[in-house]
Amino acid sequence: MYPDGSKEKTPLYYSDYNEALTYAQYDIKSNWEWYRERYEKEIGNE
């Protein structure tokens, strides 16, 4: 999600929702700092 409200979606190809949820939780825990930094840079560029 971007500060202007737009969203970028990437398809996840998992066989069931449990696998997709596990991946999503891992991704957020591993990359939240990078996501935050990118978001804050976008806010500064407006």
How does DSSP assign 1-46, residue by residue? Answer: --TTS---------SSHHHHHHHHHHHHHHHHHHHHHHHHHHHHT-
Q: Is the pTM of this model over 0.85?
A: no
How many CA atoms lie less than 13 Å away from 9 in the CB half-sphere?
3
Q: What is the pLDDT of residues 1-46, one digit of tens each?
A: 788 889 988 888 999 999 999 999 999 999 999 999 999 998 887 6
Residue ranges of the domains in the chain? 1-46
